[in-house]
Amino acid sequence: MTPQSNFMVVAKLRGDAKAALDGLLNEMNYAGSPGMADPDNALFPFGAFDNLHYARFVIVDDKTLIDFKALGLPIPRHSLTLAFLGDCDGPVDDLFRAFASNPVALDGLKKVFGHCEGFGENTDLVSWMKANEHPPAAAYVNWTGRTVRQIRSEATLRDALHAELGSYQTMQTEPRDDVSAIRRHLRNFVAKNPELMPPPEPDTPTAWLIANLLHFAILPAALLLPWALALVFLTPISVPLSWVMVPFAVIGAIAFFYILRRANLPLAILALFALFLIPLLVLFPIMLIAAILAGIGFILVLRCYEKNEPEIIPSEPVARMDRHIASLAEREDLDVTNQFTVIGSLKPGLFRRWLSSLLLWLIDYGARHIYNRGHIGRIQSIHFARWTFVDDKQRLIFASNYDGTTEAYMDDFINKVGWGLNLAFGGGVGYPRVNWLILDGAKEEQKFKYTLRRHQLPTEVWYKAYPGLTAYDLARNARVHEGIMREQMNDDEISAWLRDL
């Protein structure tokens, strides 16, 4: 398996560079399709890099900083910046070196970054990009390990099998219900055309496996820490240990296997570790008291912020919002997948900065270890997404690649994971008021949609490596590939497999 990585290079623009840079970036796009990159454009040939899933160039021009005036604070002065971001297979450093070793890409990036401060004719491209790279606070990959090469190969395989199935059915003089015979024919067809089979993926890098395992271990270790502290510093109440531990061991085992059958191993492990905090609190009541006091303290501080922070949703002039939305709309629905980029400022104060950092770390943890097989919560239409702090955690950029229209995208989130939106964005200036960390906020539908559009940035250039394919298509094509490789399938499994063709 080849794991995925992402990058975001952010650099300040020179004082008068915006207009010239905007014109230069537009040279990467198809004529008549604003923002839609031509993979073979003469400035930066995105299509030359077969491990690049998505990429975009965005001029970050934040028009919402005026909102600080409503907070009674000085309006921040942030420079115009250029953001170059993307999602790739394998390490980002390898991709950067590939950019630098391609003469056309190297020359194109030098022309683009030449509009940025600190980049000169003799600047080393790779070193400069790494120096200006901003790691994400949280990142989501629809299916970890699914490479560009695999996606394209599986699409080709499915198209060939679909065509062959049609030909086979046309040649039959009588209708046939023998699904096994159909599958044998298709497997023989592939055997005669071995170039249709996607090449095997390389082994998962050992270093990545170790790093991923250590990252996963952070939360179980944190859940074990109270046990370690209690056993070292406290005395348990005088009841037989087995009276407490044995029932919870049985309950834990049942819960573990129940979750394992319905979700995945990481979630089952985390649930088991969390469950065993209950006997800890039974055996060491003083820890229960400490937990309650800490919880009350956190809630009091949180509610103080939530009640006293003003809700800032300014009414922009209609003509200005119409122009802004029109600029966004002309860059949307040019493919079955769309791009989305928003920027917002965090509410001032160390509490908000700390809380946002913690919540995004938890989102990243869940996306990395639990929601890495086709969905995040109940949302299945997102290919890649990331949340990235900039300007010393004063602002946050969110960027995603999703299927369908923007309106449907927003509705999907509001209806299915509105609480998740509140966790991720509730600490932002201009977001609808959130209560109790997860309530209200995005449920104020019109306020939420207005806020999102107001904070959204037009994307100057957007590249997708597999146009016309949705996340559903990718999952379906992977099932087709898996089915053709299996040696044995019963009739029900074959019928389900054929429906994917």
Distance, CA of 276 to CA of 266 (rounded, Å): 16
Give the number of residues written for the chain: 501
Q: Are residues 168 and 139 in the same domain?
A: no
pLDDT at 471 over 80: yes
pLDDT at 390 over 80: yes
Q: Per residue in 254-273, pLDDT tens?
A: 999 999 998 899 999 999 99
pLDDT at 205 over 70: yes
434-439 contacts, C-beta under 8 A, 24 or more apart: 434/306, 435/306, 436/302, 436/303, 436/306, 437/302
pLDDT at 173 over 70: no
pLDDT band of residue 456 (cuts 50, 70, 90) is very high
CA-closest candidate to residue 80, choices 37, 8, 19: 19
State the SS3 of 154-199. Answer: HHHHHHHHHHHHHHHHHHCCCCCCCHHHHHHHHHHHHHHCHHHCCC
Beta carbons within 10 angstroms of residue 395's beta carbon: 21
Q: Are residues 196 and 285 in the same domain?
A: no
Average pLDDT over residues 343-353: 95
CA-closest candidate to residue 60, choices 460, 452, 386: 460
Query: Rounded to the nearest 5 degrees, what angle is found at the Cα of 324, between the Cα atoms of 318 and 327?
Result: 140
Q: Please give the share of the chain, as a percent, with pLDDT higher than 70.
A: 99
Distance, CA of 96 to CA of 424 (rounded, Å): 30
Contact status, residue 462 vs residue 37, Cβ threshold 8 Å: yes
pLDDT at 378 over 90: no
Element (H, E) at 396: strand 395-403
Q: Are residues 286 and 319 in the same domain?
A: no
Burial class from Cβ neighbours inside 10 Å (0-12, 13-18, 19+) for residue 366 reads buried
pLDDT at 176 over 80: no
Q: The whole model's pTM is what?
A: 0.94
State the pairing for strand pair 52-60/81-89. antiparallel
Q: Are residues 210 and 139 in the same domain?
A: no
Q: Per residue in 238-248, pLDDT tens?
A: 887 778 888 88
Cα maximum dimension of the chain: 82
Q: Are residues 456 and 476 in the same domain?
A: no
What lies within 8 Å, CB to CB, of 283 at 6+ separation is 230, 236, 237, 239, 241, 244
Distance, CA of 398 to CA of 442 (rounded, Å): 16
pLDDT band of residue 145 (cuts 50, 70, 90) is very high
Poorest-confidence range of 4-18, 50-64, 177-191, 345-359?
Answer: 177-191
pLDDT at 8 over 90: yes
User: Domain boundary at 293, 308, 323, which?
Assistant: 308
User: Domain boundary at 261, 287, 308, which?
Assistant: 308
CA-closest candidate to residue 179, choices 492, 501, 483: 492
Containing domain of residue 365, as a range?
4-145+311-464
DSSP string, 248-284: HHHHHHHHHHHHHHHS-HHHHHHHHHHHTHHHHHHH-
Q: Per residue in 90-127, pLDDT tens?
A: 999 999 999 999 999 999 999 999 999 999 989 999 99
Q: What is the side-by-side order of every strand in the sheet holding 52-60?
A: 4-12, 81-89, 52-60, 461-464
Q: Are residues 157 and 275 in the same domain?
A: no
Q: Are residues 493 and 415 in the same domain?
A: no
Handedness of CA 85, 86, 87, 89 (dihedral sign): negative
Element (H, E) at 407: helix 406-425
First CA to last CA across the chain, in angstroms? 25
Q: Are residues 302 and 211 in the same domain?
A: yes
Strand partners, 107: none
Q: Per residue in 277-332, pLDDT tens?
A: 999 999 999 999 999 999 999 999 999 999 999 998 988 888 999 999 999 999 99
Average pLDDT, the chain: 94
Q: Per residue in 38-64, pLDDT tens?
A: 999 999 999 999 999 999 999 999 999
Q: Are residues 489 and 421 in the same domain?
A: no
CA-closest candidate to residue 216, choices 386, 370, 384: 370
pLDDT at 211 over 80: yes
Q: Please give the share of the chain, as a percent, with pLDDT higher than 90.
A: 86
Element (H, E) at 454: helix 445-455
The two three-digit tokens of residue 280, written as one number: 């800890």
pLDDT band of residue 175 (cuts 50, 70, 90) is low
Q: Are residues 315 and 408 in the same domain?
A: yes
Instruction: Tell me what pLDDT residue 241 has.
Output: 78
Domain count, the chain: 3
Average pLDDT over residues 20-34: 95
Q: Are residues 58 and 103 in the same domain?
A: yes
Poorest-confidence range of 350-354, 376-380, 461-465?
Answer: 376-380
Q: Are residues 298 and 315 in the same domain?
A: no
User: Domain boundary at 274, 308, 342, which?
Assistant: 308
